[in-house]
Homo-oligomer: A and B are copies of this chain.
Amino acid sequence: MGIAVVGAGFIGNVHSKCTHENPRTRISAVFDTNAEASGLLAVKYSARHATSLDDAIADADLVIIGTPTNTHGDIARLCIKKKTPFLCEKPLDIDLQSAMLTARLAAEAGVFAGMGLNRRFDGQYQALHEAIGSGDLGKVEIILMTSRTQSLPPMEYIAKSGGQLRDKGAHWFDMLCWLTRERPKEIFVHGSCLIDKRFAEHGDVDTATISIEMESGALCQMNFSRRTAYGYDERVEIAGSTGMMQACPPIPINVHHFHGDKITQCGLHPDWYSRIQGTYPAQLDALVDAVEGKGEFPSLIDGLVAETIAVAGNKSLEQRMPVSILYDFDI
């Protein structure tokens, strides 16, 4: 399958590497408005350097959109117009209304459109998903999610990230729906600027705790931090009526050092990419399957649901009140 990689930044490089190494796919073209970046990427993988977005899409079986957020919508709509299947990194657009419009266009055109909700393809989370699906845990009662990034992003990134609840949270809101097979009905958020007061200047927080009630009455807690002192930490725990399952953070080097009255292990992954990189090849395999009509893949609607929860969470943070969540997409 020939894949056009649009966007030659960090994530474009990740998708190119996966496409290069997967025996089922090849890079049909790479494109970026920054021609230097896309040129380097083309050379690295001996791929065609497209001269324009149209040129990149022209002969592609599939487009992967890994550009800055504010360009996602336009590129996605061009793919829809050209009836070319695409994967878009989240979010689909800068605001929920635009994203809904794009999702509706894709649905009407019958074009395959996937969202880059790659965490679903992690081995641990797949195991959780299967355990819940198979009934091993019974009826889900409590869900705990921890997501703490090892170090602060640059402040200019914060300014345009849409806030922690959209930027980081959308992944976890999607995970919550995917794992439990249901949606939140109410959200309450506590937030603080404990790490860097400048978050407050952008109406954002660096530390947040989220309390969610699901449609079934199941209860979920998430805690987010923009900086740890001990590496990259993400974890999920699901307690159900017949069992409980934890996806513990993997330890890359499993060596124990016994000395005196202590035992020292090597710590967590140093950053998000080293932790989660294995999801990208797995996501690509599932994507190729889905384009070929086999299996499920995260949809634009899944992306809209996650964004809707994030928006409600931001409202709760602002109003200091619990907020009911409505999913009114008309698609």
A264 CB within 8 Å of chain B: yes
Distance, CA A221 to CA B240, complexed state (A): 19
Residues in B with CB closer than 8 Å to A231 are 258, 260-261
Give the residue among A127, A142, A254, A259 with the most B Cβ atoms within 10 A.
A259
The answer to whether B252 and A245 touch across the interface, beta carbons within 8 angstroms, is no
CB distance B239 to A246 under 8 Å?
no
Q: Give the shortest distance, in Å, between A184 (CB) and chain B (any CB).
A: 11
Taking a contact as CB atoms under 8 Å apart, the answer to whether B255 and A241 are in contact is: no
Confirm or deny: A96 has a beta carbon within 8 angstroms of a beta carbon on chain B.
no
Q: How far is the CA of A148 from the CA of B131 in the complex (A)?
A: 21
Is residue A281 contacting chain B, with contact meaning CB distance below 8 A? Answer: no
The answer to whether A267 and B257 touch across the interface, beta carbons within 8 angstroms, is no
A9 on interface, CB distance cutoff 8 Å: no
Q: Which residue of chain B has the shortest Cβ distance to A211 in the bound complex?
A: B211
Q: A181 contacts the other chain (Cβ, under 8 Å)? A: no
Chain B proximity of A192: nearest CB distance (Å): 4
Out of B144, B195, B233, name the residue touching A223 (CB < 8 Å): B144
B residues less than 8 Å from A241 (CB atoms): 194-195, 229
**Given the known A-B contacts A123-B252, A228-B244, are A261 and B266 also in contact in the complex, defined by CB atoms under 8 Å?**
yes
- Chain A 132-154, CB within 8 Å of chain B: the 1/0 string? 00001011011010101000000
0/1 per residue, A231-252, Cβ < 8 Å to B? 1010000011111111111111
CA distance A300 to B142 in the complex (A): 33
Chain A interface extent, by class:
35 or more
B-side contacts of A228, CB under 8 Å: 239, 244, 258
Measured CA separation A225–B286 after assembly (Å): 37
Question: Once the chains bind, are B244 and A258 in contact (CB under 8 Å)?
Answer: yes
Q: Is A56 an interface residue (CB 8 A)?
A: no
Q: Which of B248, B257, B268 contacts A131 (CB 8 A)?
A: B257
| A162 interface contact, C-beta 8 A | no
The stretch from A31-39, A107-115, A212-220, A288-296 touching chain B is A212-220
A270 CB within 8 Å of chain B: yes
Interface residues of A (CB under 8 A from B): 21, 23, 44, 123-124, 127-128, 131, 136, 138-139, 141-142, 144, 146, 148, 186, 188, 190-195, 207-209, 211-213, 217-221, 223, 225, 228-231, 233, 239-268, 270, 320-322
